Structure 1
Amino acid sequence: MPAPATHHTRLRHGAPTLLLLLTALATTLACRHLPPCHSTFPWDSLSILRDMAPRPPQPCQDQQAPFPFPDTLLHNSHPQQAAATARHILDNLFATLSAQSTPQHWDDQARHRLLNNLHHYINHLERCLPANRTLIKSQGPRNLMLSINKYFRRIHNFLHTHNHSACAWDHVRLEVRASFQRVDTLIRQMK
């Protein structure tokens, strides 16, 4: 009679592991089968950004913007980690571009198109992420989200320090452009 108890014990201990593996497989497959707009998203967004945010009417002084991006976040081998990084960058871009302090010379209609594009793509990326977020945390740098948050905090501090001027926003526009290029790198890692 002890043999059946041992068999059930093994099944109980193996089930959580199997569940984690199936969840990882399902989310990986979800990332690989995103719609065709998936690969054009960053470039479409760059085009909308160009329409939305022309250069300021008056030339800006050459100010060095103090927000280097932690490029190590772009080098990972896990599709879910790439999706989580891209989603977190896009969440922060959405929050930044949703600010009411954007320059008056920016096209508001194009800005709303860009925000809708961001929101739509963030929802697509959510499908790539496992329901159990601990899987993501165990696969990447421990301070992934903190590094991205720190980068965007520097951007917000820069805007605040320069009173949300058109020139400060022009620096942010350049960072947003670079962020879309980084998201493109992450999207290619998800495939």
Structure 2
Amino acid sequence: MAFSVPSLVVLVMIFSSPISSFSCDLPQSLDVGTQETLTVLGQMGKISLLSCLKDRTDFRFPQEMVEASRVQKAQALSVVHEMLQQIFNLFYTEASSAVWNTTLLEQLLSGLHRQLEDLETCLLQEMGEEGSLLGMKDPTLAVRRYFQRILLYLQEKENSHCAWEVVRVEIIKALWTSSSSSLSSQLLG
């Protein structure tokens, strides 16, 4: 099942020259990464969510981070990077590999890893232009807390198949929300 949504994640051209000449072309590549991630996450679904209704929970997605109207581009990049890193960490566990199809899981992790590497280039470039992120309120703290709630939920549910299914759907929703927010607009602007 393919999802048609604006994208959140970034793929950039990486050149073998010094960082100062790296290209960070967000508008051109924004759609590709999210589309790939959402497609793979969609394909990973194995069980019906109807059978897992009792396991649903509100992870309290940090809406304030994605709807911030005056977020700087470096902060937006930082939030996107943190989200992708946390998604990667979440699915790069022994518990995750026990639940998901190995081929799809490897495809997801490979795509996320590639996107993270590319996004780091943009983040380094943007930090150089806007100055250090030090001194700014940590824009990723709310994202980390959100993923901490997800990890605690999985532990409480003993990494059950239903718990992972609820988390998979939550991650799709979080990516969708982030990609259609002012955060995504800031990255394009």
Query: What is the TM-score when the length of structure 2 is the normalising length?
Result: 0.73
- Alignment of 1:189 with 2:189, yes or no, is no
Residue pair 1:48, 1:110 contacting (<8 A) in 2 also: yes
1:95 aligned to which of 89, 114, 125: 89
Secondary structure of 1:127's aligned partner: helix
**Equivalents in 2 of 1:122, 1:49: separation in Å?**
17
Partner residue, 1:62: 54
Provide Cα deviations, 1:117-168, integer angstroms capped at 9, x if missing partner.
Answer: 11111111111113569633445xx242221111111100000001000111
1:117 aligned to which of 111, 123, 129: 111
Partner residue, 1:160: 155
Provide Cα deviations, 1:28-83, integer angstroms capped at 9, x if missing partner.
Answer: x954x248443221122111111123325992242341410111111244222111
- Alignment of 1:84 with 2:81, yes or no, is no
Q: Structure 2: give runs of 5+ residues left out of the alignment.
A: 1-19
State the structure with more CA Rg.
1
Residue pair 1:80, 1:136 contacting (<8 A) in 2 also: yes
Residue pair 1:42, 1:183 contacting (<8 A) in 2 also: no
Partner residue, 1:144: 139
**Equivalents in 1 of 2:185, 2:32: separation in Å?**
11
RMSD: 2.8
Residue pair 1:82, 1:190 contacting (<8 A) in 2 also: yes
Provide Cα deviations, 1:68-118, integer angstroms capped at 9, x if missing partner.
Answer: 011111124422211110000100000001111127552210111111111
Residue pair 1:103, 1:165 contacting (<8 A) in 2 also: no
1:53 aligned to which of 27, 45, 51: 45
**Equivalents in 2 of 1:124, 1:165: separation in Å?**
33
**Equivalents in 2 of 1:169, 1:34: separation in Å?**
31
**Equivalents in 1 of 2:108, 2:100: separation in Å?**
12
Q: Partner letter of residue 106 of structure 1?
A: W
Q: Partner letter of residue 155 of structure 2?
A: H
**Equivalents in 2 of 1:115, 1:65: separation in Å?**
25
Partner residue, 1:3: none
Residue pair 1:83, 1:187 contacting (<8 A) in 2 also: no
The alignment of Structure 1 onto Structure 2 pairs a total of residues equal to: 162
Partner residue, 1:13: none
Q: Structure 1: give runs of 5+ residues left out of the alignment.
A: 1-25
